[in-house]
Amino acid sequence: MVYRLHQTSTFVFGLIMPLVLSGCTNHPTKAEAASLKPVEIKEWQVPWDQTRPRDPYVDQQNRVWFVGQGGDYIAVLDPELGQFHQFTLDPGTGPHNLIVDKEGQVWYAGNRAAHIGKLDPGTGKIIKYPMPDPKAHDPHTLVFGHDHDIWFTVQQGNFVGHLDMATGMIQLMPLPTPQARPYGMVLDPTHSPWFTEFGTNKLGMVDRATQTVREIPLSRTETRPRRLAVTSDGVIWYVDYAEGYLGSYNAKTGDIQEWLAPGAADAKPYGMTVDNQDRVWFVETGAHPNRLVGFDTRTHRFMSLTDIPSGGGSVRHMVYHHPTKSIWFGTDANTIGRAKVP
């Protein structure tokens, strides 16, 4: 293996070039495609038109928080009452993603305003944590870490970042690959962050102990991984937006496997999550209407296919809520949707 270490004022990061990885590609049979069962989907029309509601997150009161990327707001839906409430952000914030901590504080990515913000819903007060490097102008996707911290991607700036929620200190890790476009992010069972590199055919991960970044080239040079999920066994699952595949990477063995989505090369799979039975769900945004697809990771078979009632436009991110066994998503059709998982 070849190691390259680079020193910055905040992090040391390294590039580890892995050995050649094995891989195989699988295609669904006609019988499998015919057996795909739909699930129940309900959608709520967001009252603020054409604001691209997206990236929902369910709090401990089962309220659904989301951002209005095109409307510069944070909002919350009470699904039992069907009521929405909006918190206005500064013009030009371009919120991209949010997460809600156990204290009910809402953390959001100010994608067009170079900051991560924290909203106190009780007072409406917002605290902003600006990016420490002007090149990190577009914080993208946030996930909670293990120790009162947040990890995040910076897509066009080409960083992975870390925020200490107690101090507000932000540390940035530049990626070794130029224009890698770090995008979706999840934590594995060891609490290590994994992310996709949408500008190339790689996955990335952060070793928290050594403060290093590792990049994993995928089997096909044409692959463009966009979102990802992780099952309880630590296997990383990703969707290839460019050519319509669902893929998996086993970090223990280095094995890569791929399955052509039901929509094949036109699928454009985007939003993705995993449920409590380790079934992977993603949305084909190349289809009109968009289609929610379920995949059983134990049998390696597609099991479900459901049209999004509103059409979707594009479903960009999804979250699974274990207590209600449901998947939540936002759509470019200006809705917040819920899929009940069997």
pLDDT tens digits for range 152-193: 999 999 999 999 999 999 999 999 999 999 999 999 999 999
DSSP-H helix ranges across the chain: 30-34
* pTM score of the predicted model: 0.91
What's the confidence (pLDDT) of residue 16? 32
**Nearest alpha-carbon partner for 3 in 200, 146, 210, 295:** 210
State the pLDDT confidence band at 31, using cuts at 50, 70 and 90.
low
Measured in whole angstroms, the distance separating CA 141 from the mean position of its chain's CA atoms is: 7
Tokens 């791929």 sit at which residue? 258
Strands 106-110 and 139-144: unpaired
pLDDT at 12 over 50: no
What's the confidence (pLDDT) of residue 210? 82
pLDDT at 15 over 60: no
State the pLDDT confidence band at 26, using cuts at 50, 70 and 90.
low
Taking residues 218-247, report their average pLDDT.
Answer: 98
Dihedral sign computed on CA atoms, order 43, 48, 54, 56: negative
> Phi and psi for 33 in degrees, rounded to 5?
-60, -35
| 3-state SS assignment for residue 225 | strand
pLDDT at 97 over 90: yes
What's the confidence (pLDDT) of residue 179? 98
- pLDDT averaged over every residue in the chain: 92
% helix, strand, coil for the chain, step of 5: 0, 50, 45
pLDDT tens digits for range 266-304: 999 999 999 999 999 999 999 999 999 999 999 999 999
Exposure of 34 by Cβ count < 10 A (0-12 exposed, 13-18 middle, 19+ buried)?
A: exposed
Cis peptide before 289 (omega within 30 of 0): yes
What's the confidence (pLDDT) of residue 18? 33
What's the confidence (pLDDT) of residue 29? 56
State the pLDDT confidence band at 25, using cuts at 50, 70 and 90.
low
Tokens 């999004």 sit at which residue? 308
- Cα(174)–Cα(172) distance, integer angstroms: 6
pLDDT at 64 over 90: yes
State the pLDDT confidence band at 40, using cuts at 50, 70 and 90.
very high
State the pLDDT confidence band at 33, using cuts at 50, 70 and 90.
low
- Cα(340)–Cα(278) distance, integer angstroms: 15
Beta carbons within 8 Å of 140's beta carbon, 6+ residues apart: 96, 97, 109, 111, 152, 153, 154, 155, 182, 183
State the pLDDT confidence band at 209, using cuts at 50, 70 and 90.
confident
State the pLDDT confidence band at 53, using cuts at 50, 70 and 90.
very high
DSSP 211: T
Strands 64-68 and 73-78: antiparallel
Specify the higher pLDDT residue, 93 or 27. Answer: 93
